[in-house]
Amino acid sequence: MQLDGRTHSLQAAYAARQAVFVDQPAYVRIANDLRARIVSGQLAAGTRLPSRQELAVEYDAAQGVISEATKLLTREGLLVSRPGAGMFVRQRPQRRSLVRSWFRERQAGSPFRQQMEEQGRRGSWEYASETLQAPAEVRERLGLGEPDGDRHDVMRTTYTFSSDDEGPWMLSTSWEPLELTKGTPIAWPEAGEHAGLGVTHRMAAIGITVDAWDEEVWARVASPEEAKHLGIGAGSIVMVVERSYFAGELAVETCDIVVPAETTKLVYNGPVGDS
């Protein structure tokens, strides 16, 4: 194995070590066993697992090892634990579909109809808006130039979306250039006649035609704040969507959307061979 640059040597060595570990640590084996019992239905959704102590006896392992194993399954979304009560097999993580694009309707039995209906049933949402000077990353996404002293140049609005039956399920932070909206009726996204109508409608009200969108999707571990807001465990996975709206070449809004990966999937579709 060649070790040239520092970065490469680190990652290569790490990968190599992984491959060498033929037999797995105890907490992984135990997690595998429990996972098999869960997905096979032997441990049905809602049932309570034996306590840490009992599992430690059953698997002949220390309680810390059991704890490590169940933490793994919790991050995978298979378990939910409540201090004082116990650990429970989670309901099949039925994922909420977040339809991001569609160009035509598909067969009636397909998810699309249901999803649109589901998205149609509105939940509640909270927001907070303020003006400030955009940070570097947002400047780039919006195509803003260098900052002018301390002058505020964007409107930032943070949202928390909640469904009626369950809790919060989506966070988002939207950025709009004040250069476009300052002094217009839509400067504050959630005030006035066009409140809550979406970027496309609002921009249309001041003569800007939004005609394109970009989305960049990735996933990462939730920050402690995000985990708290979304009601998910620390170390859980979230998906991040960086969305931008354009009018021609002009970026008119950019937005970070954060959803729990356990319970959400993003749905895109489109034509083949478009232009």
Contact 122, 170 (CB under 8 A): no
Q: Give the residue, chosen from 34, 38, 73, 74, that forms a contact with DNA under the rule CB under 7 A.
A: 74
Q: Which of 223, 228, 233, 219 is nearest to 264 (CA)?
A: 219
Q: Which residue's CB is nearer to DNA, number 45 or number 191?
A: 45
Cα 175 from Cα 33, distance rounded (Å) = 46
Q: Does 41 bind a second copy (CB under 8 A)?
A: no
Q: Which amino acid is at 219?
A: A
Task: Look at residue 51 and give the partner it binds from DNA, a second copy, none, a contact being a CB closer than 5 to 8 Å depending on partner kind.
Answer: DNA
Q: Does 264 bind a second copy (CB under 8 A)?
A: yes
Q: Give the residue, chosen from 13, 57, 116, 195, that forms a contact with a second copy under the rule CB under 8 A.
A: 13
Name residue 221's beta-bridge partners: 237
Q: Give the residue, chosen from 43, 70, 138, 181, that forms a contact with DNA under the rule CB under 7 A.
A: 70
Cα 152 from Cα 157, distance rounded (Å) = 14
Stretch that binds a second copy, among 54-62, 156-164, 183-191, 227-235 (CB under 8 A): 227-235
Q: Least distance in Å: CB of 131 to a second copy?
A: 25
Q: Least distance in Å: CB of 80 to DNA?
A: 8
Write each residue from 14 to 43 as x if it is in contact with DNA (CB under 7 A), else as -, in one continuous string. xxxxxxx-x--xxxx---------------
Which are the contacts of 153, defined by CB distance < 8 A and separation ≥ 6?
Answer: 133, 134, 144, 147, 177, 178, 179
Q: Which of 40, 44, 57, 111 is nearest to 269 (CA)?
A: 111
Q: Does 64 bind DNA (CB under 7 A)?
A: yes
Could you give the count of Cα atoms lying within 13 Å of 172 in the half-sphere of its Cβ? 17
Residues within the interface to DNA (CB under 7 A): 1-4, 6-7, 10-11, 13-20, 22, 25-28, 49, 51-54, 60-65, 67-68, 70-71, 74, 81-87, 234
